[in-house]
Amino acid sequence: MTLTDPAAVLRQGFTGQVLRRGEPGYDEARQVFNAMMDRRPAIVARCATTADVVAAVDVARDHGLVVAVRCGGHSVAGLGTCDDGMLIDLSGLKSITVDPGARTARAGGGVLWGELDTATQAHGLHTPGGRVSTTGIGGFTTGGGYGWTSCKYGLACDNLISAEVVLADGRVVRAGEREHADLFWGLRGGGGNFGIVTEFEFRLHPLGPTVLAGLTMFPVERAPEVLRGWRDCADAAPDELATALVVLTAPPEPFVPARLRGEPVLGVAALYVGAADRGDDVVQPLRDLRPAVDHIAPMPYTAFQAALDPLAPRGFRSYWRGEYLRELTDDAIDTFLSHAVELTSLGAPLSEMVIFRVGQGVAAVPDAATAFSHRDAGYLFHPICMWDDPSDDSRMITAGRAFASAMRPFGTGAAYLNFTPEADRVRDAYTDETYARLVAIKDTYDPANLFRLNQNIRPSHSALVG
């Protein structure tokens, strides 16, 4: 470690922007999606190239600075920022190259899902991505990555072909099935523990640009009947049908009946990704539930991918959970509804209580193929609590935790880390065998735990490092 000013050292030859506290642009640059995470790094390194990322890693390591890494900043745990250390901001790494013949795409580590979707949809192609278009591809993919089309095509990490990675020692490597295969395995579900991914290469699949998709709504009074009906539809649906159940506050939109606007309602979202001539038949069982609003219709895939954006604005306080359910029993449904309507109202209008059908596209990938575990769950329970008054923090977090605790008897005990704010749930995301393998990879690529502001896999000698 030297006594040299690290910001001054970093600025030498840095292509992007280096910001310190008090400098113009610093306050905007330090902010992340979850407003509860109001942290102030000593340095924000807004990288424009892979070489910038290398320089930032080298300076942070040599000066003993804690490192946070941010792509889109959507981590509910606030992992894309820190106090007093260095925030390495990848948002300037925006390159996208699509090869429609090979059905592959390469995207820089700062690309958002809406940007990648727009580029791939120009060729009628896609890869499973975030359900909110402003989500970054980085943490989403390395944490697993459930998208609408995962029911058919697997997780985002299942569609990763290779990755360019900046390691803790400053080396840049390409990880794939044939080179640094251990690292490649760990990147697919092991999060940001092993390095900073500056470029992703994805496998693409035909889809769109027009799809059959949308939302239906039901009065909350019909919730017990409708949720059971949706469960039966979801259990019987082909993997070409992605669907989710959500309790939300009905928006003040013209297509929503006046009596439902601003009230808790039950919503069913659906996306059909199969042959166009079968779409209406496949979604018909959902329409047979007799919704008050039927907004399922042909639309651009990019529009459906952005449909939830208004419910996920930056600058609000957030608490989420991601818990797996092997099946959705009647008792689980009753327990869900006993909390969901009240908690949605408590956090109106942005809070929403969601259950996603997972689908066989995820389960079909063997557990040992990637670092992502617990693929056999049928459903993912995802309460989203959002509010704007700091005085409500304790009340909303307590209510969200109580909801998750009430659903625990119906769960598998496993957690989805991309939706989990608590650090003590990391072990719950992996099988014992997978976790042991991840620790070995951590020992190889980051034994000093430089990359520890994440859902951390601690190296085997963790008593000696942070």
Say if 457 falls within a structural domain.
no
pLDDT for the residue 461: 82
Find the mean pLDDT for residues 228-238.
98
| Residues 155, 224 within the same domain | no
In this model, does residue 132 exceed pLDDT 80?
yes
pTM value is: 0.96
Which domain covers residue 321, as residue numbers? 210-424
Say if 450 falls within a structural domain.
no
| Residues 217, 241 within the same domain | yes
Are 229 and 182 spatial neighbours (Cβ–Cβ below 8 Å)? no
Nearest to 154 by CA among 192, 210, 202, 194: 202
Q: For 174-215, what is each residue's pLDDT tens digit?
A: 999 999 999 999 999 999 999 999 999 999 999 999 999 999
Alpha-carbon gap, residue 336 to 221, rounded angstroms:
14
Q: Which residue carries 């409708």 as its tokens?
A: 226
Say if 437 falls within a structural domain.
no
**Band of pLDDT at residue 465, cut at 50, 70 and 90:** low
What CATH number does the domain containing 17 carry?
3.30.43.10
- Picking from 185, 206, 227, the residue at the C-terminal end of a domain is 206
Say if 105 falls within a structural domain.
yes
Say if 391 falls within a structural domain.
yes
Alpha-carbon gap, residue 371 to 434, rounded angstroms:
6
Are 19 and 46 spatial neighbours (Cβ–Cβ below 8 Å)? yes
Phi, psi values for residue 243, rounded to 5°: -150, 150
- Name every residue whose Cβ is closer than 8 Å to that of residue 461 and which is 6 or more positions away in sequence: 443, 447
For the record, the structure tokens of 444 come out as: 């190889």
Bond into 447 cis (ω within 30): no
**Band of pLDDT at residue 4, cut at 50, 70 and 90:** confident
| Residues 306, 391 within the same domain | yes
Are 322 and 377 spatial neighbours (Cβ–Cβ below 8 Å)? no
Number of domains in the chain: 3
N- to C-terminal Cα separation, the chain = 16
Alpha-carbon separation of residue 347 from 20, 218, 312 (angstroms) = 35, 20, 13
- Picking from 206, 228, 244, the residue at the C-terminal end of a domain is 206
Find the mean pLDDT for residues 65-84.
96
For the record, the structure tokens of 299 come out as: 């639309």
| Residues 328, 284 within the same domain | yes
Output the CA angle 246-251-254, nearest 5 degrees: 125
Q: Which bin fits 216, alpha (ψ -120 to 50), beta or left (φ > 0)?
A: beta
| Residues 234, 121 within the same domain | no
In this model, does residue 1 exceed pLDDT 50?
no
| Residues 76, 158 within the same domain | no
**Edge-to-edge strand order for the sheet containing 160-166?**
96-99, 104-108, 196-203, 160-166, 172-176
List the beta bridge partners of residue 241.
272
- Which amino acid would we find at residue 46? R
Find the mean pLDDT for residues 269-297.
97
| Residues 178, 243 within the same domain | no
**Band of pLDDT at residue 63, cut at 50, 70 and 90:** very high
In this model, does residue 144 exceed pLDDT 90?
yes
What does the CA dihedral 321, 384, 209, 296 come to, rounded to 10 degrees? 120
- Picking from 52, 67, 89, the residue at the C-terminal end of a domain is 89
Our measurement of the distance from residue 26's CA atom to the centroid of its chain's CA atoms, rounded to an integer in Å, reads 26
Nearest to 56 by CA among 3, 101, 12, 112: 12
Say if 1 falls within a structural domain.
no
CB count within 10 Å of CB 195 equals 29
CB count within 10 Å of CB 456 equals 18
DSSP secondary structure of 237-274:
S-TTEEEEEEEEEPPS-TTS-TTTTTSEEEEEEEEE-S
For the chain, the residue count is 466
Are 267 and 215 spatial neighbours (Cβ–Cβ below 8 Å)? yes
In this model, does residue 157 exceed pLDDT 60?
yes
List the beta bridge partners of residue 380.
324, 356
**Band of pLDDT at residue 462, cut at 50, 70 and 90:** low
The two beta strands, 297-300 and 210-219, are antiparallel
Are 11 and 293 spatial neighbours (Cβ–Cβ below 8 Å)? no
| Residues 72, 184 within the same domain | no
| Residues 43, 149 within the same domain | no
Alpha-carbon gap, residue 311 to 253, rounded angstroms:
14
pLDDT for the residue 3: 52
In a 3-state reduction of DSSP, which class is residue 320?
Answer: strand
Per-residue burial over 416-443, b if 16 or more Cβ lie within 10 Å, else e, is bbbbbbeeebbebbbeeebbebbbebbe
The sign of the CA dihedral 228, 231, 236, 242 is positive
Q: For 374-413, what is each residue's pLDDT tens digit?
A: 999 999 999 999 999 999 999 999 999 999 999 999 999 9
pLDDT for the residue 466: 57
- Which amino acid would we find at residue 415? A
Alpha-carbon gap, residue 321 to 399, rounded angstroms:
12
- Name every residue whose Cβ is closer than 8 Å to that of residue 283 and which is 6 or more positions away in sequence: 212, 241, 270, 272, 296
Find the mean pLDDT for residues 20-43.
96
